[in-house]
Amino acid sequence: MEQPRGGFEDFGRKVDEKFSKATPKIEEEVRKVIAYLNDEVVPSVRENSSKALRAAAEQLTRLAEHMDRNTRK
């Protein structure tokens, strides 16, 4: 004898259907986010990081020169 389906089982099937339909769209959006990060964010971070390192190097050079001047006296 076949038992009628429960409401929870039907709900589970409906949720599974919705996720199955949404998965390709989600995957496409994730690919877009990854491409944006790789193409826009990473290069900018690298550029700004190198600028920050150069600025720090300049400051350290000035500090070293200052220390050299004060220790020679």
Reported as a single tens digit per residue, the pLDDT across 6-42 is 788 999 898 888 888 888 989 999 999 999 999 999 9
pLDDT at 8: 86
pTM for the predicted model, two decimal places: 0.52
Tell me the H-state helices in 2-73. 7-36, 42-72
What are the extents of the domains in the chain?
A: 30-73
Which residue would you say has higher pLDDT here, 3 or 49? 49
Q: Is the pLDDT of residue 1 over 50?
A: no
CA separation for the pair 22, 14 (Å, rounded): 12
